[in-house]
Amino acid sequence: MKRNEKIIKDLKGIVGSEYVETDELAIRLYSKEASGLESVALAVVFPQTTEEVSEIMRYAYTNDLKIYPQGAATDLAGATTPEAQGIILAFDRMNKIKEYSIVDSYIIAEPGVRTIELNDFLAKEKYMFPVDPASEKSATVGGIINTGAGGMRGAKYGTMKEWVMGLEIVLPDSEGTILRIGCKTTKCRQGYDLVRLIVGSEGTLAVVTEATLKISPIPENIVTGVGFFETLEQAMNAVVSIKKARITPYAAEFLDEKTVKVGKEGLNLDWEAEGQMVLISIDGPVEAAEKYAKIIEESMKNAGASQVLVAHSLEEAEKLRLFDLRRACYPSAIQLAAQSVKGEESKPLVVIEDIAVPPSKLPEAVKRLRKLEQKYGLPLVIFGHVGDGNLHPTTWVDASDEEARKKMWEMFYEIMEVALDLDGTISAEHGIGKLKKEGLRMEFERKKSLKALELMRQIKKVFDPKNLLNPGKVI
């Protein structure tokens, strides 16, 4: 029996024949990710229990089999693509919410639970899980842990590293060792912080089979304001004014002038949208709604806003469609990319960047990004989370145009250099994957800290001595 045939037979013996997928079309479906990258694999395996994962990891170690853990593959940095001689470990069947406590502020879930399912479950208790990636309808618990995801509420709640209390993980060793790290308590000291090490590791160190996540009450009320400004400096001054009012926004979003123009096409809004856009949400008691609305309106008008729209509740904000322009950013880029492609053999390649700079340096960052757009002659929409300085410059080319692809990747790296020039980082929430490995090296080189990469390689070797888990990613 050939090696691959034996591997398939043995894996079926672990999880059951119906849970090892070898159909070529199905494998191709699981071998694609949102970044546009795609590959192939030997099979897709669907475990249902931690014990099955442990047995698979033990088998992989004994037989030098590459393992590619996968959630919903909404990754945008090339972190989930497999190789032909490896298997995709998909967690569709490990999708249970196992326990929760409102008093103790935690929920325990398996890696295949989707973010939106967490919040639908918690909503009955008027609680939520605050991390809200744009792909929350499909993103899974395991995926957002491994990418260290963030989202629109990052201005107040940060990213996954603040919200993972404990993990159950399986190591790729001769025993398929199961470890339980972290606690159900908010305060927890267990020597080196192994939980934080796994968060953002992109499936390269261990396989997450269960997570204890911190939860938070749903805000009683949310006031939202949208303002339009002639200059970037005015837009930033509005945000500064709100922060000086000793308020931490629930959400703080930004679209530059060109992106507003692109995004509003086809939306048929009842109000005029023109200029640099800032969206601010503030949460608090219903009784404070008028106070917060006044702070938002006065801060924006004093900063020079040409127009301000304010909603005293989420329901009113949705009725006024205040979030529509922000939500339309990426879909609009996809639509424009599709329209730009000509010919049956062509298809668009869309790249969404993920840099972050200190919020005070956002105006300079946007100006420099627009200069790159002129330099390379490629389309560029710029939006992001102004509260934490996270920008998502997004561009696209015809994937069949080799020269255009070359220019796009050159601009991709120059965008990261802009972030580093302004004391920022090359990746805020999307991760490193394949696409940003060189950018990570650039960042540590700028800091004169290349030794950090060597330390990471040593950590990888301790956890995964045979380099079986998601090889070729991060470092």
Q: Say if residue 321's pLDDT is above 80.
A: yes
Domains, the chain: 3-92 (3.30.43.10), 97-217 (3.30.465.10), 221-325 (3.30.70.2190), 329-461 (3.30.70.2740)
3-state secondary structure of 227: strand
Residue 231: exposure state from Cβ atoms within 10 A (0-12, 13-18, ≥19)? middle
Q: SS3 for 286-328, per residue?
A: HHHHHHHHHHHHHHHHHCCCCEEEEECCHHHHHHHCCCHHHHC
- pLDDT of residue 92 exceeding 70: yes
Residues 237-267: pLDDT tens digits? Answer: 998 899 888 999 999 999 989 889 888 887 8
Which pLDDT belongs to residue 62?
97
Is the model's pLDDT at 417 over the cut of 70?
A: yes
How do 43-45 and 86-90 pair as beta strands?
Answer: parallel
**Is the full-model pTM beyond 0.85?**
yes
pLDDT band at 31 (very low <50, low <70, confident <90, very high): confident
Count, in order, helices (H) and strands (E) of the chain: 17, 20
pLDDT for residue 1: 65
H-helix or E-strand spanning residue 264 = none
- Least Cα distance to 138 among 194, 190, 74 occurs for 74
Query: What percentage of the chain carries pLDDT values higher than 90?
Result: 73
pLDDT value of position 141? 97
Q: What is the mean pLDDT of residues 370-387?
A: 92
Q: How far apart (Å, rounded) are the C-alpha atoms in residues 279 and 320?
A: 13
Residues of the chain with pLDDT > 70, as a percent, come to 99
pLDDT of residue 450: 97
Rg (CA), the chain: 23
Determine the average pLDDT of the residues in 315-322.
Answer: 96
**Which pLDDT band, with edges at 50, 70 and 90, does 399 fall under?**
confident
Residue 431, pLDDT > 80, answer yes
For residue 83, the model assigns a pLDDT of 76
User: What one-letter code names the amino acid at 474?
Assistant: V
Residue 227: what pLDDT? Answer: 97
Q: Categorize the per-residue pLDDT at 344 as very low, low, confident or very high, splitting at 50, 70 and 90.
A: low
Q: For 139-180, how does the pLDDT look when each residue is reduced to its tens digit (9 = 90+)?
A: 999 999 999 999 889 889 999 999 999 999 999 999 999 999
